[in-house]
Amino acid sequence: MMKKLVDRLLNDAVVINNSIVKVDHFINHQLDTKLIDEIGEAFSDEFPQTTKILTIESSGIAYGVSTALHLNYVPVVFARKEKSSIISDKVYHSEAFSFTKQKTSTITVSKDFLSKDDKVLIIDDFLATGSALKALVAICKQAGATVEGIGIVIEKSFLNARDLFKEEDFKILSLANITEIKNNTLTIKKDQ
Amino acid sequence: MMKKLVDRLLNDAVVINNSIVKVDHFINHQLDTKLIDEIGEAFSDEFPQTTKILTIESSGIAYGVSTALHLNYVPVVFARKEKSSIISDKVYHSEAFSFTKQKTSTITVSKDFLSKDDKVLIIDDFLATGSALKALVAICKQAGATVEGIGIVIEKSFLNARDLFKEEDFKILSLANITEIKNNTLTIKKDQ
């Protein structure tokens, strides 16, 4: 965990309901760029073998870039969320369901930008149901790339997304782990 | 202009037609993070008075963040493109037409994140018809914020977007200015 992030969440996150917190004043609409820089540093420390970062638009991009700046400028690829189901054969693709938005998107990455030579660090701002992460992992597998690890800013572990990946041998690092949201209050795991 | 970016465009950009170039291998799908860092530094040098950066999802975010890291960690706000026309009264909003995608979106920014006290540097990856930039400027005006300047990675000046802003007193800095695309070839202005 990252103490500064955890303290910020405990002080500033707004509970919307028992599964959703609003953090758009520092994580995903207005961005606290000092915090984002430190988050990038934390991910880079944990996964130094990374040769490419994969993230997903829009909220993952800031964290992907800040991590790359601490990893000797590895390239960042951000997956796109396509509304259309017309998918060209030039992209890797997988479906993901957004719990917050209650809709399914097709996640795509150009075949030009992922290959079997890549050691990929996947980065996202939230791990909730794990649907988007599962799509990103599937895309790495389609490319034959190695998933070096997963870096998540905020995990909602009460949704048990890690169960989807228990057969995998990569490490999932989350910097803040919300174990419960109840009565307008977050519970965050103190050590991991 | 930024020589490294101009050289990269002349060497690597793929001409799609007489108004569109594809740069998704280093600018807006896979990201060259060293170049992005240097672009951020160039914008920061030009607009040191900035207190907040405003950009737009998705492709602007990387450039907004890299600029903020060179401006003593000013906050970045990224505007959202909403498909829905149902807009809450909690956001500033304006319409923009995407030439590349041939569709209109409503651009929104939460009223919590822009105010009359902000000196805003607006950043985007492309200046084409100027529709998105006009929406971002309109949102700053709604908030009463001062537009400190505009930083554009790649301008297509043959589309004359600057004409939309000739009454304004802010400076528009573009790091590469494409003056013509013809017969599969870019012409880029050598000095500005």
**What is the pLDDT, as a whole number, of residue A156?**
97
Query: For chain B, first and last CA: distance in Å?
Result: 6
- Give B177's DSSP letter: E
Verify whether the Cβ–Cβ distance B78 to A37 is below 8 Å: no
In Å, how far is B82's CA from the nearest CA of chain A?
A: 12
Decide: residue B138, CB within 10 A, 0-12 exposed, 13-18 middle, 19+ buried: middle
**What is the pLDDT, as a whole number, of residue B98?**
86
State the count of interchain CB pairs (< 8 A) between A and B.
Answer: 97
Nearest-angstrom CA–CA distance, A147 and A50 = 9
Residues from chain B contacting residue A25 (CB–CB below 8 Å): 112-113
Among B46, B65, B115, B119, which residue's Cα sits nearest to residue A67? B65
Residues from chain B contacting residue A86 (CB–CB below 8 Å): none
CB A54 within 8 A of CB A136: yes
**What is the pLDDT, as a whole number, of residue A85?**
67
Question: What mean pLDDT do residues B98-126 have?
Answer: 94
Task: Give me chain A's average pLDDT, please.
Answer: 95
Verify whether the Cβ–Cβ distance A29 to B77 is below 8 Å: yes
Verify whether the Cβ–Cβ distance A30 to B62 is below 8 Å: no
In Å, how far is A163's CA from the nearest CA of chain B?
A: 30
String of b and e for A47-58 (b: at least 16 CB within 10 Å)?
Answer: beebbbbbbbbb
Q: What is the ipTM of this complex?
A: 0.96
Residues from chain A contacting residue B8 (CB–CB below 8 Å): none
pTM for the model? 0.97
Q: Evaluate if residue B85 carries a pLDDT over 80.
A: no
**What is the pLDDT, as a whole number, of residue B93?**
97
A122, B14, B98, B192 from A111: Cα distances, Å? 17, 16, 25, 37
Among A165, A164, A170, A192, which residue's Cα sits nearest to residue A179? A192
Residues from chain B contacting residue A57 (CB–CB below 8 Å): 57-58
Query: For chain A, first and last CA: distance in Å?
Result: 6
Among chain B residues, the shortest Cα distance to A83 is held by B83
Verify whether the Cβ–Cβ distance A113 to B76 is below 8 Å: no
CB within 8 A of B186, min separation 6: which ones?
B9, B10, B13, B15, B21, B178, B180
Verify whether the Cβ–Cβ distance B37 to A61 is below 8 Å: no
Return the percentage of chain B with pLDDT > 70, whole number: 98
Percent of residues in chain A assigned helix, strand, coil, to nearest 5: 30, 35, 35
- pLDDT per residue over A3-57, tens digit each? 999 999 999 999 999 999 999 999 999 999 999 999 999 999 999 999 999 999 9
In Å, how far is A75's CA from the nearest CA of chain B?
A: 5
Task: Give me chain B's average pLDDT, please.
Answer: 95
Q: Which of B32, B36, B69 sits opposite A33 (nearest CB)?
A: B69
- pLDDT per residue over A67-116, tens digit each? 999 999 999 999 999 876 678 899 999 999 987 788 899 999 999 999 99
- pLDDT per residue over A129-176, tens digit each? 999 999 999 999 999 999 999 999 999 999 999 999 999 999 999 999
CB A140 within 8 A of CB A62: no
Q: 3-state DSSP call for residue A106?
A: strand
